[in-house]
A and B are shown apart, each in its own frame.
Chain A
Amino acid sequence: MELVLTIGLDALSFVLTLLLVTLGLVIVYGMMNVINMAHGELFLLGAYTLVAAQSAGLPFWAGVLLAMLVVGLAGLLIEELVIRHVYGRPIDTILATWGLSIAIKQLIIIVFGPAAISLTNPLPGSVSVLGIDYPAYRLVIMAVSAFLAATVYLVLFRTSIGLQIRSVIANRGMAGSLGVNTRLMDRGTFAVGAALAGIAGAVMAPIMSVDPQMGVGFLIPAFLAVLVGGLNSLLGAVIGAGIIGGASTTLSSGMAQATAQICVFVIAIVVIRLFPNGLSKGFR
Protein backbone atom coordinates (compact mmCIF):
# COMPACT_ATOMS: atom_id res chain seq x y z
CA MET A 1 0.00 0.00 0.00
CA GLU A 2 2.74 2.39 1.01
CA LEU A 3 4.68 1.50 -2.14
CA VAL A 4 1.66 2.20 -4.34
CA LEU A 5 1.16 5.54 -2.63
CA THR A 6 4.82 6.46 -3.04
CA ILE A 7 4.79 5.55 -6.71
CA GLY A 8 1.52 7.46 -7.11
CA LEU A 9 2.99 10.57 -5.52
CA ASP A 10 6.19 10.23 -7.56
CA ALA A 11 4.11 9.85 -10.71
CA LEU A 12 1.99 12.89 -9.87
CA SER A 13 5.13 14.86 -9.07
CA PHE A 14 6.75 13.92 -12.39
CA VAL A 15 3.52 14.57 -14.32
CA LEU A 16 3.21 18.06 -12.86
CA THR A 17 6.94 18.71 -13.36
CA LEU A 18 6.62 17.64 -16.98
CA LEU A 19 3.52 19.81 -17.32
CA LEU A 20 5.51 22.75 -15.98
CA VAL A 21 8.12 22.25 -18.70
CA THR A 22 5.46 21.50 -21.33
CA LEU A 23 3.40 24.67 -20.69
CA GLY A 24 5.81 26.94 -22.57
CA LEU A 25 6.09 24.39 -25.34
CA VAL A 26 2.34 23.97 -25.77
CA ILE A 27 2.09 27.72 -26.41
CA VAL A 28 5.09 28.04 -28.73
CA TYR A 29 4.89 24.70 -30.53
CA GLY A 30 1.31 23.55 -29.97
CA MET A 31 -0.43 26.85 -30.58
CA MET A 32 1.97 29.03 -32.59
CA ASN A 33 3.30 26.03 -34.56
CA VAL A 34 6.90 27.09 -34.05
CA ILE A 35 9.23 24.11 -33.63
CA ASN A 36 11.63 25.80 -31.24
CA MET A 37 14.70 23.57 -30.85
CA ALA A 38 16.05 26.16 -28.41
CA HIS A 39 13.20 25.64 -25.95
CA GLY A 40 15.49 23.50 -23.76
CA GLU A 41 18.01 26.35 -23.72
CA LEU A 42 15.33 28.76 -22.51
CA PHE A 43 14.82 26.32 -19.62
CA LEU A 44 18.60 26.42 -19.16
CA LEU A 45 18.65 30.23 -19.17
CA GLY A 46 16.02 30.21 -16.44
CA ALA A 47 18.10 27.86 -14.29
CA TYR A 48 21.30 29.89 -14.74
CA THR A 49 19.49 33.16 -14.05
CA LEU A 50 18.57 31.66 -10.69
CA VAL A 51 22.23 30.61 -10.18
CA ALA A 52 23.35 34.19 -10.88
CA ALA A 53 20.63 35.65 -8.66
CA GLN A 54 21.54 33.30 -5.80
CA SER A 55 25.22 34.15 -6.00
CA ALA A 56 24.29 37.85 -6.00
CA GLY A 57 22.54 37.17 -2.71
CA LEU A 58 18.95 37.53 -3.91
CA PRO A 59 16.32 35.43 -2.14
CA PHE A 60 15.09 32.31 -3.95
CA TRP A 61 11.67 33.55 -5.10
CA ALA A 62 13.14 36.84 -6.31
CA GLY A 63 15.50 34.70 -8.40
CA VAL A 64 12.56 32.80 -9.89
CA LEU A 65 10.79 36.05 -10.79
CA LEU A 66 14.01 37.39 -12.30
CA ALA A 67 14.33 34.18 -14.35
CA MET A 68 10.81 34.72 -15.67
CA LEU A 69 11.64 38.31 -16.68
CA VAL A 70 15.08 37.57 -18.15
CA VAL A 71 13.89 34.59 -20.22
CA GLY A 72 10.72 36.44 -21.26
CA LEU A 73 12.89 39.29 -22.55
CA ALA A 74 15.20 36.78 -24.23
CA GLY A 75 12.07 35.35 -25.91
CA LEU A 76 11.09 38.82 -27.11
CA LEU A 77 14.56 39.28 -28.59
CA ILE A 78 14.59 35.81 -30.20
CA GLU A 79 11.16 36.40 -31.75
CA GLU A 80 12.26 39.74 -33.20
CA LEU A 81 15.65 38.56 -34.50
CA VAL A 82 14.93 34.98 -35.59
CA ILE A 83 11.42 33.56 -35.28
CA ARG A 84 9.44 36.26 -37.08
CA HIS A 85 11.46 35.64 -40.24
CA VAL A 86 10.64 31.95 -40.34
CA TYR A 87 6.91 31.72 -39.43
CA GLY A 88 5.25 29.02 -41.52
CA ARG A 89 8.61 27.56 -42.63
CA PRO A 90 9.15 24.54 -40.33
CA ILE A 91 12.46 23.31 -41.80
CA ASP A 92 14.01 26.78 -41.63
CA THR A 93 12.65 27.14 -38.10
CA ILE A 94 14.32 23.91 -37.00
CA LEU A 95 17.65 24.94 -38.50
CA ALA A 96 17.54 28.50 -37.17
CA THR A 97 16.48 27.54 -33.65
CA TRP A 98 18.93 24.63 -33.55
CA GLY A 99 21.72 27.11 -34.30
CA LEU A 100 20.29 29.38 -31.66
CA SER A 101 20.29 26.56 -29.11
CA ILE A 102 24.00 25.90 -29.73
CA ALA A 103 24.76 29.61 -29.42
CA ILE A 104 22.89 29.96 -26.11
CA LYS A 105 24.49 26.82 -24.69
CA GLN A 106 28.00 28.01 -25.62
CA LEU A 107 27.27 31.45 -24.21
CA ILE A 108 26.31 29.86 -20.93
CA ILE A 109 29.50 27.75 -20.93
CA ILE A 110 31.56 30.92 -21.54
CA VAL A 111 29.88 32.78 -18.69
CA PHE A 112 29.34 30.02 -16.12
CA GLY A 113 31.78 27.29 -17.20
CA PRO A 114 30.96 23.72 -18.25
CA ALA A 115 30.91 22.19 -14.77
CA ALA A 116 27.71 21.23 -12.96
CA ILE A 117 26.56 23.58 -10.24
CA SER A 118 24.32 22.45 -7.41
CA LEU A 119 22.06 24.88 -5.62
CA THR A 120 20.85 24.55 -2.09
CA ASN A 121 17.29 23.36 -1.71
CA PRO A 122 15.27 26.42 -0.62
CA LEU A 123 12.86 24.22 1.32
CA PRO A 124 14.68 21.21 2.73
CA GLY A 125 12.84 18.75 4.92
CA SER A 126 9.76 16.75 4.25
CA VAL A 127 6.05 16.88 4.82
CA SER A 128 3.82 13.98 5.72
CA VAL A 129 1.35 13.26 2.93
CA LEU A 130 -1.18 10.51 3.72
CA GLY A 131 1.33 8.99 6.11
CA ILE A 132 4.28 9.18 3.74
CA ASP A 133 7.17 11.57 4.24
CA TYR A 134 7.50 13.49 1.00
CA PRO A 135 10.13 16.16 0.14
CA ALA A 136 8.51 19.54 0.77
CA TYR A 137 10.12 21.26 -2.23
CA ARG A 138 8.68 18.67 -4.61
CA LEU A 139 5.23 19.61 -3.35
CA VAL A 140 6.09 23.27 -4.04
CA ILE A 141 7.02 22.42 -7.62
CA MET A 142 3.73 20.54 -8.03
CA ALA A 143 1.81 23.55 -6.70
CA VAL A 144 3.67 26.00 -8.97
CA SER A 145 2.93 23.80 -11.98
CA ALA A 146 -0.77 23.48 -11.18
CA PHE A 147 -1.00 27.22 -10.49
CA LEU A 148 0.69 28.19 -13.76
CA ALA A 149 -1.40 25.74 -15.81
CA ALA A 150 -4.60 27.15 -14.28
CA THR A 151 -3.42 30.73 -14.89
CA VAL A 152 -2.56 30.04 -18.53
CA TYR A 153 -5.95 28.38 -18.98
CA LEU A 154 -7.84 31.30 -17.43
CA VAL A 155 -5.95 33.90 -19.45
CA LEU A 156 -6.47 32.04 -22.74
CA PHE A 157 -10.11 31.10 -22.28
CA ARG A 158 -11.57 33.70 -19.94
CA THR A 159 -10.04 37.04 -20.96
CA SER A 160 -10.28 39.38 -23.94
CA ILE A 161 -6.55 39.19 -24.56
CA GLY A 162 -6.79 35.39 -24.55
CA LEU A 163 -9.56 35.52 -27.16
CA GLN A 164 -7.38 37.73 -29.35
CA ILE A 165 -4.40 35.39 -28.95
CA ARG A 166 -6.59 32.42 -29.93
CA SER A 167 -7.99 34.36 -32.89
CA VAL A 168 -4.48 35.01 -34.24
CA ILE A 169 -3.66 31.32 -33.82
CA ALA A 170 -6.91 30.20 -35.48
CA ASN A 171 -6.79 32.59 -38.45
CA ARG A 172 -4.02 35.16 -38.51
CA GLY A 173 -5.24 36.96 -41.63
CA MET A 174 -8.81 37.38 -40.42
CA ALA A 175 -7.68 38.46 -36.95
CA GLY A 176 -5.61 41.18 -38.61
CA SER A 177 -8.56 42.30 -40.72
CA LEU A 178 -10.57 42.70 -37.51
CA GLY A 179 -7.95 45.10 -36.18
CA VAL A 180 -5.96 42.73 -33.97
CA ASN A 181 -2.30 43.74 -33.93
CA THR A 182 -0.96 40.37 -35.00
CA ARG A 183 2.72 41.34 -34.62
CA LEU A 184 2.14 42.38 -31.02
CA MET A 185 0.28 39.12 -30.31
CA ASP A 186 3.07 37.02 -31.89
CA ARG A 187 5.73 38.82 -29.88
CA GLY A 188 3.77 38.63 -26.65
CA THR A 189 2.70 35.01 -27.03
CA PHE A 190 6.23 33.83 -27.84
CA ALA A 191 7.66 35.85 -24.94
CA VAL A 192 5.13 34.31 -22.53
CA GLY A 193 6.00 30.81 -23.79
CA ALA A 194 9.68 31.59 -23.22
CA ALA A 195 9.02 33.07 -19.76
CA LEU A 196 7.19 29.88 -18.76
CA ALA A 197 10.23 27.83 -19.82
CA GLY A 198 12.36 30.21 -17.75
CA ILE A 199 10.23 29.74 -14.63
CA ALA A 200 10.35 25.97 -15.16
CA GLY A 201 14.15 26.04 -15.36
CA ALA A 202 14.49 28.16 -12.25
CA VAL A 203 12.01 26.15 -10.18
CA MET A 204 13.61 22.84 -11.21
CA ALA A 205 17.20 24.03 -10.68
CA PRO A 206 17.44 23.24 -6.92
CA ILE A 207 16.59 19.57 -7.42
CA MET A 208 18.67 19.02 -10.54
CA SER A 209 22.31 19.37 -11.25
CA VAL A 210 22.54 22.66 -13.13
CA ASP A 211 24.75 22.04 -16.14
CA PRO A 212 24.61 23.03 -19.82
CA GLN A 213 22.91 19.73 -20.76
CA MET A 214 20.06 19.92 -18.25
CA GLY A 215 17.47 21.15 -20.77
CA VAL A 216 17.77 18.11 -23.03
CA GLY A 217 16.33 15.55 -20.62
CA PHE A 218 13.01 17.35 -20.46
CA LEU A 219 12.73 18.57 -24.04
CA ILE A 220 11.92 15.22 -25.65
CA PRO A 221 9.29 14.07 -23.10
CA ALA A 222 7.75 17.56 -23.31
CA PHE A 223 7.50 17.41 -27.12
CA LEU A 224 6.04 13.89 -26.77
CA ALA A 225 3.49 15.15 -24.25
CA VAL A 226 2.35 17.89 -26.65
CA LEU A 227 2.09 15.41 -29.55
CA VAL A 228 0.27 12.73 -27.56
CA GLY A 229 -2.18 15.22 -26.05
CA GLY A 230 -2.83 17.08 -29.28
CA LEU A 231 -1.50 20.34 -30.68
CA ASN A 232 -3.28 23.56 -29.94
CA SER A 233 -4.79 22.29 -26.72
CA LEU A 234 -3.96 23.07 -23.13
CA LEU A 235 -6.01 20.14 -21.89
CA GLY A 236 -4.08 18.03 -24.39
CA ALA A 237 -0.84 19.05 -22.71
CA VAL A 238 -2.24 18.00 -19.34
CA ILE A 239 -3.35 14.63 -20.74
CA GLY A 240 -0.06 14.19 -22.61
CA ALA A 241 2.05 15.06 -19.58
CA GLY A 242 -0.13 12.68 -17.56
CA ILE A 243 0.44 9.76 -19.92
CA ILE A 244 4.14 10.31 -20.63
CA GLY A 245 4.99 11.33 -17.06
CA GLY A 246 2.81 8.70 -15.43
CA ALA A 247 4.12 5.91 -17.65
CA SER A 248 7.76 6.91 -17.11
CA THR A 249 7.48 6.91 -13.32
CA THR A 250 5.43 3.75 -12.88
CA LEU A 251 7.45 1.79 -15.43
CA SER A 252 10.84 2.84 -14.07
CA SER A 253 9.81 1.69 -10.59
CA GLY A 254 9.50 -1.86 -11.94
CA MET A 255 12.25 -2.13 -14.55
CA ALA A 256 15.54 -0.69 -15.73
CA GLN A 257 15.52 3.01 -16.67
CA ALA A 258 16.41 2.33 -20.31
CA THR A 259 13.73 -0.34 -20.74
CA ALA A 260 11.17 2.01 -19.19
CA GLN A 261 12.19 4.77 -21.63
CA ILE A 262 11.74 2.41 -24.58
CA CYS A 263 8.28 1.45 -23.30
CA VAL A 264 7.31 5.13 -22.97
CA PHE A 265 8.40 5.78 -26.55
CA VAL A 266 6.42 2.76 -27.75
CA ILE A 267 3.32 4.02 -25.90
CA ALA A 268 3.78 7.47 -27.44
CA ILE A 269 4.19 6.01 -30.94
CA VAL A 270 1.10 3.83 -30.56
CA VAL A 271 -1.02 6.74 -29.29
CA ILE A 272 0.17 9.05 -32.08
CA ARG A 273 -0.46 6.28 -34.64
CA LEU A 274 -4.01 5.69 -33.37
CA PHE A 275 -4.81 9.36 -32.70
CA PRO A 276 -2.73 11.38 -35.17
CA ASN A 277 -4.32 14.61 -33.94
CA GLY A 278 -3.75 13.81 -30.28
CA LEU A 279 -6.01 12.49 -27.56
CA SER A 280 -7.73 15.80 -26.90
CA LYS A 281 -9.09 16.03 -30.47
CA GLY A 282 -12.76 16.82 -30.25
CA PHE A 283 -12.75 18.78 -27.03
CA ARG A 284 -10.58 21.48 -25.53
Chain B
Amino acid sequence: MMLEINGLHAGYLKGSQVLDGLSMKIGKGESVAILGRNGMGKTTLMRTLTGHLKPTAGSIRFAGADIAGKPPYRIARAGIGYVPQGRDIFSDFTVEENLRMGVLGKPGLGSTVPDLAFELFPILAERRNQRAGTMSGGQQQQLAIMRALLGKPDLLILDEPSEGIQPSIVHDIGTTLRRYADTHGLTILLVEQNLDLVNLLAHHALFMENGTIVERVDDIARLQTDADLINRYLTV
Protein backbone atom coordinates (compact mmCIF):
# COMPACT_ATOMS: atom_id res chain seq x y z
CA MET B 1 0.00 0.00 0.00
CA MET B 2 1.19 3.50 -0.87
CA LEU B 3 -1.12 5.27 1.55
CA GLU B 4 -3.19 3.78 4.34
CA ILE B 5 -5.37 5.96 6.55
CA ASN B 6 -7.15 4.55 9.58
CA GLY B 7 -9.72 6.26 11.82
CA LEU B 8 -8.39 9.74 11.11
CA HIS B 9 -9.76 12.60 13.20
CA ALA B 10 -8.78 16.23 12.66
CA GLY B 11 -10.34 19.66 12.98
CA TYR B 12 -9.69 23.32 13.58
CA LEU B 13 -11.45 23.96 16.89
CA LYS B 14 -11.51 21.86 20.01
CA GLY B 15 -14.58 19.65 20.04
CA SER B 16 -15.47 20.08 16.37
CA GLN B 17 -14.07 17.36 14.17
CA VAL B 18 -13.98 17.99 10.42
CA LEU B 19 -12.51 14.56 9.76
CA ASP B 20 -14.53 12.02 11.68
CA GLY B 21 -12.79 8.67 11.71
CA LEU B 22 -11.87 8.61 8.03
CA SER B 23 -10.25 5.47 6.60
CA MET B 24 -9.03 4.81 3.06
CA LYS B 25 -6.26 3.08 1.11
CA ILE B 26 -4.41 3.83 -2.11
CA GLY B 27 -2.26 1.24 -3.82
CA LYS B 28 1.00 2.03 -5.61
CA GLY B 29 0.43 3.54 -9.06
CA GLU B 30 -3.27 4.04 -8.40
CA SER B 31 -5.03 7.35 -9.03
CA VAL B 32 -7.90 8.15 -6.72
CA ALA B 33 -10.33 11.05 -6.86
CA ILE B 34 -12.17 12.30 -3.80
CA LEU B 35 -15.49 13.97 -4.52
CA GLY B 36 -17.99 15.68 -2.31
CA ARG B 37 -19.74 18.95 -1.61
CA ASN B 38 -18.00 21.95 -0.12
CA GLY B 39 -17.49 21.73 3.63
CA MET B 40 -17.33 17.95 3.77
CA GLY B 41 -13.67 17.95 4.78
CA LYS B 42 -11.79 17.34 1.52
CA THR B 43 -9.27 20.15 1.91
CA THR B 44 -8.94 19.37 5.63
CA LEU B 45 -7.97 15.82 4.65
CA MET B 46 -5.34 17.16 2.20
CA ARG B 47 -3.94 19.54 4.83
CA THR B 48 -3.75 16.76 7.41
CA LEU B 49 -2.01 14.40 4.97
CA THR B 50 0.61 17.03 4.13
CA GLY B 51 1.29 17.92 7.77
CA HIS B 52 -0.29 21.38 7.84
CA LEU B 53 -2.89 20.21 10.32
CA LYS B 54 -2.17 17.78 13.14
CA PRO B 55 -4.60 14.88 13.45
CA THR B 56 -6.21 14.41 16.86
CA ALA B 57 -6.52 10.64 16.41
CA GLY B 58 -5.92 7.91 13.88
CA SER B 59 -2.96 6.85 11.77
CA ILE B 60 -1.53 7.75 8.36
CA ARG B 61 0.92 5.25 6.92
CA PHE B 62 2.80 6.27 3.81
CA ALA B 63 4.99 3.62 2.11
CA GLY B 64 5.01 1.74 5.42
CA ALA B 65 6.05 4.63 7.68
CA ASP B 66 3.81 6.52 10.07
CA ILE B 67 3.66 10.18 8.98
CA ALA B 68 0.72 11.42 11.07
CA GLY B 69 1.56 14.73 12.76
CA LYS B 70 5.01 15.04 11.18
CA PRO B 71 6.02 18.54 9.97
CA PRO B 72 5.34 19.32 6.27
CA TYR B 73 9.01 19.18 5.22
CA ARG B 74 9.43 15.66 6.60
CA ILE B 75 6.32 14.49 4.77
CA ALA B 76 7.53 16.16 1.57
CA ARG B 77 10.93 14.48 1.88
CA ALA B 78 9.24 11.12 2.54
CA GLY B 79 7.85 11.43 -1.01
CA ILE B 80 4.53 13.28 -0.98
CA GLY B 81 4.23 16.13 -3.49
CA TYR B 82 1.53 18.72 -2.84
CA VAL B 83 -0.30 21.06 -5.21
CA PRO B 84 -2.58 22.98 -2.85
CA GLN B 85 -5.88 24.65 -3.58
CA GLY B 86 -5.08 28.10 -4.99
CA ARG B 87 -1.73 26.74 -6.24
CA ASP B 88 0.49 28.74 -3.83
CA ILE B 89 3.18 29.55 -6.35
CA PHE B 90 5.74 32.12 -5.18
CA SER B 91 4.36 35.03 -7.19
CA ASP B 92 7.37 37.34 -6.70
CA PHE B 93 9.81 34.65 -7.84
CA THR B 94 10.52 33.95 -11.49
CA VAL B 95 9.20 30.77 -13.09
CA GLU B 96 12.70 29.30 -12.92
CA GLU B 97 13.09 30.20 -9.22
CA ASN B 98 9.75 28.52 -8.50
CA LEU B 99 10.94 25.40 -10.29
CA ARG B 100 14.26 25.47 -8.41
CA MET B 101 12.22 25.38 -5.20
CA GLY B 102 10.98 22.00 -6.41
CA VAL B 103 14.44 20.48 -6.00
CA LEU B 104 16.22 22.70 -3.42
CA GLY B 105 14.37 21.35 -0.40
CA LYS B 106 15.03 17.72 -1.28
CA PRO B 107 18.43 16.35 -0.32
CA GLY B 108 20.15 14.74 -3.29
CA LEU B 109 18.25 16.49 -6.06
CA GLY B 110 20.79 19.27 -6.60
CA SER B 111 19.95 22.92 -7.08
CA THR B 112 19.37 23.34 -10.80
CA VAL B 113 16.16 22.81 -12.74
CA PRO B 114 16.23 19.55 -14.76
CA ASP B 115 15.28 19.81 -18.45
CA LEU B 116 12.26 17.63 -17.79
CA ALA B 117 10.57 20.70 -16.31
CA PHE B 118 10.40 22.41 -19.68
CA GLU B 119 9.55 19.34 -21.75
CA LEU B 120 6.30 18.43 -20.03
CA PHE B 121 4.85 21.94 -20.06
CA PRO B 122 6.60 23.92 -22.85
CA ILE B 123 4.96 27.18 -21.74
CA LEU B 124 7.25 27.13 -18.70
CA ALA B 125 10.31 27.29 -20.98
CA GLU B 126 8.87 30.33 -22.74
CA ARG B 127 8.12 32.08 -19.45
CA ARG B 128 11.29 30.94 -17.70
CA ASN B 129 12.48 34.39 -16.57
CA GLN B 130 9.06 35.94 -16.08
CA ARG B 131 7.64 36.70 -12.62
CA ALA B 132 5.33 33.77 -11.84
CA GLY B 133 2.58 36.02 -10.48
CA THR B 134 2.11 37.64 -13.88
CA MET B 135 1.10 34.37 -15.58
CA SER B 136 -2.46 33.18 -16.19
CA GLY B 137 -4.18 30.77 -13.83
CA GLY B 138 -3.64 27.82 -16.14
CA GLN B 139 0.06 28.57 -16.54
CA GLN B 140 0.44 28.97 -12.78
CA GLN B 141 -1.24 25.60 -12.29
CA GLN B 142 1.20 23.95 -14.70
CA LEU B 143 4.03 25.60 -12.77
CA ALA B 144 2.68 24.37 -9.42
CA ILE B 145 2.31 20.80 -10.76
CA MET B 146 5.76 20.81 -12.34
CA ARG B 147 7.32 22.22 -9.17
CA ALA B 148 5.81 19.32 -7.21
CA LEU B 149 6.87 16.72 -9.79
CA LEU B 150 10.51 17.92 -9.78
CA GLY B 151 10.72 16.77 -6.16
CA LYS B 152 10.29 13.21 -7.50
CA PRO B 153 7.30 12.34 -5.31
CA ASP B 154 5.84 8.82 -5.09
CA LEU B 155 2.43 10.28 -4.27
CA LEU B 156 1.12 13.51 -5.76
CA ILE B 157 -1.72 15.25 -3.94
CA LEU B 158 -3.75 17.74 -5.98
CA ASP B 159 -6.44 19.90 -4.40
CA GLU B 160 -8.94 21.33 -6.92
CA PRO B 161 -6.41 21.82 -9.73
CA SER B 162 -9.10 22.85 -12.23
CA GLU B 163 -10.41 25.74 -10.11
CA GLY B 164 -10.60 28.94 -12.16
CA ILE B 165 -8.97 27.46 -15.26
CA GLN B 166 -10.56 27.21 -18.69
CA PRO B 167 -11.76 23.71 -19.63
CA SER B 168 -9.43 23.16 -22.60
CA ILE B 169 -6.34 23.83 -20.43
CA VAL B 170 -7.72 21.57 -17.69
CA HIS B 171 -8.05 18.84 -20.30
CA ASP B 172 -4.45 19.33 -21.50
CA ILE B 173 -3.08 19.29 -17.96
CA GLY B 174 -5.06 16.12 -17.20
CA THR B 175 -3.78 14.34 -20.29
CA THR B 176 -0.15 15.30 -19.64
CA LEU B 177 -0.33 14.30 -15.99
CA ARG B 178 -1.95 10.94 -16.81
CA ARG B 179 0.82 10.18 -19.30
CA TYR B 180 3.52 11.18 -16.79
CA ALA B 181 1.92 9.09 -14.02
CA ASP B 182 1.74 6.01 -16.26
CA THR B 183 5.39 6.24 -17.36
CA HIS B 184 6.73 7.03 -13.87
CA GLY B 185 4.46 4.87 -11.73
CA LEU B 186 3.22 7.94 -9.87
CA THR B 187 0.37 7.54 -7.39
CA ILE B 188 -2.19 10.37 -7.45
CA LEU B 189 -4.71 11.59 -4.89
CA LEU B 190 -7.03 14.17 -6.39
CA VAL B 191 -9.74 16.34 -4.90
CA GLU B 192 -11.86 17.68 -7.73
CA GLN B 193 -15.29 18.96 -8.74
CA ASN B 194 -14.51 18.90 -12.48
CA LEU B 195 -15.75 15.51 -13.71
CA ASP B 196 -13.81 15.77 -16.98
CA LEU B 197 -10.52 15.87 -15.07
CA VAL B 198 -11.62 13.10 -12.72
CA ASN B 199 -12.52 11.02 -15.77
CA LEU B 200 -9.09 11.66 -17.32
CA LEU B 201 -6.99 11.05 -14.24
CA ALA B 202 -8.69 8.76 -11.74
CA HIS B 203 -8.96 4.98 -11.66
CA HIS B 204 -11.66 5.10 -9.05
CA ALA B 205 -13.54 7.68 -7.02
CA LEU B 206 -14.40 8.04 -3.36
CA PHE B 207 -17.30 10.13 -2.12
CA MET B 208 -16.81 12.07 1.06
CA GLU B 209 -19.55 13.25 3.38
CA ASN B 210 -19.30 14.73 6.89
CA GLY B 211 -15.67 13.83 7.31
CA THR B 212 -15.75 10.18 6.23
CA ILE B 213 -15.68 8.19 3.01
CA VAL B 214 -19.24 7.05 2.30
CA GLU B 215 -19.03 5.37 -1.10
CA ARG B 216 -16.53 4.01 -3.56
CA VAL B 217 -17.12 4.04 -7.32
CA ASP B 218 -14.84 1.74 -9.31
CA ASP B 219 -16.36 2.43 -12.70
CA ILE B 220 -15.36 6.03 -13.37
CA ALA B 221 -17.64 6.23 -16.42
CA ARG B 222 -20.60 5.91 -14.07
CA LEU B 223 -19.88 9.43 -12.82
CA GLN B 224 -20.88 10.81 -16.20
CA THR B 225 -24.05 8.75 -16.54
CA ASP B 226 -25.42 8.04 -13.08
CA ALA B 227 -27.42 11.18 -12.31
CA ASP B 228 -28.64 9.74 -9.02
CA LEU B 229 -25.06 9.36 -7.75
CA ILE B 230 -24.19 12.94 -8.66
CA ASN B 231 -27.37 14.32 -7.12
CA ARG B 232 -26.80 12.45 -3.90
CA TYR B 233 -23.23 13.58 -3.28
CA LEU B 234 -22.45 16.59 -5.41
CA THR B 235 -25.38 18.92 -6.04
CA VAL B 236 -26.61 20.98 -3.15
Contact = CB atoms under 8 A, between A and B. Distances in A.
Main secondary structure of the interface of A (DSSP, over half): helix
B76 A167 contact: no
Nearest to A161: B104
A180 B50 CA distance: 13
B93 A179 contact: no
A256 interface: no
A182 B75 CA distance: 13
B105 A175 contact: yes
Contacts, number: 72
Contact of B72 (A160, A163, A167, A176): A176
Interface of A: 160, 163-164, 166-167, 170-171, 173-183, 284
Nearest to A167: B101
Interface of B: 50-52, 71-73, 75-77, 82, 84, 88, 90, 92-93, 97, 100-102, 104-106, 111, 147-148, 151
Given A177-B50, A177-B84, A182 B101 contact: no
Contact of A178 (B51, B71, B102): B102
B120 to A, nearest CB: 18
A164 B104 CA distance: 7
Contact of A179 (B52, B73, B90, B92): B73
Contacts of B75: 177
Nearest to B87: A174
Contact of B104 (A170, A171, A176, A180): A180
A167 B82 CA distance: 16
Contacts of A173: 52, 72, 84, 88
A166 B98 CA distance: 11
